[in-house]
Amino acid sequence: MENEASGHQVLELRVALTTNEYEALVDFYRVGLGLEPDQVWPEDQGRAFVLDMGRATLEIFDEKQAQTVDQIEVGRRISGKIRFALQVPDLDAAMARLISHGAFLVSPPVDTPWGDRTVRFRDPDGMQITLYQAA
């Protein structure tokens, strides 16, 4: 049913990461991004940690577009089928926090043709993440 206030059919995007590196990913995303948990679910059926990541969008790329973005951000086609892109207010501060919490730098910061400054990382479980500071 459509939410009359927003006009949207979908009210929230939730992404669930399943990992054998639970503690490392919790530390990486919580401390590395400086986020407080929105929810911590009881451990009786397994551990779950929920972070509010702000506004969400779903981008669907064809292979040519993925190649274009990877070429701009990294210089070659490298990302998998899923890559996070997270907007941060201060790219340098976010980079320092993430590196100190297990991020692997894939490519140093670049300025995009549309004016954003981006950097590509892998999280402790191998997921590629683009951090960007908007122009």
The residue among 67, 74, 55 whose CA lies nearest residue 112 is 74
How big is the CA angle at 57 (ends 128 and 116), to the nearest 5 degrees? Answer: 65
Class of the domain covering 22-133: alpha beta
The residue with tokens 């459509």 is 2
Query: What is the Cα–Cα distance from 133 to 93, expressed in whole angstroms?
Result: 11
Return the domain boundaries, the chain: 22-133
Query: Using one digit for the tens of pLDDT, what is the confidence trace for 83-131?
Result: 999 999 999 999 999 999 999 999 999 999 999 999 999 999 999 999 9
**Closest by CA position to 120, among listed 132, 134, 102, 111:** 132
Report the run of H or E that residue 128 belongs to, with start and end: strand 128-133
Question: The tokens 């300025």 sit on which residue?
Answer: 111
Question: Left if phi > 0, otherwise alpha if psi is -120 to 50, otherwise beta: which for 13?
Answer: beta
Stronger pLDDT, 108 or 10, i.e. the higher one: 108
Query: pTM value?
Result: 0.84
Judge whether 83 and 131 are in contact, CB under 8 Å: no
pLDDT tens profile 19-71: 999 999 999 999 999 998 899 888 888 999 999 998 999 999 999 999 999 99
DSSP state of 81: S
Tell me whether residue 62 is exposed, middle or buried, using C-beta atoms within 10 angstroms of its C-beta: 0 to 12, 13 to 18, 19 or more: exposed
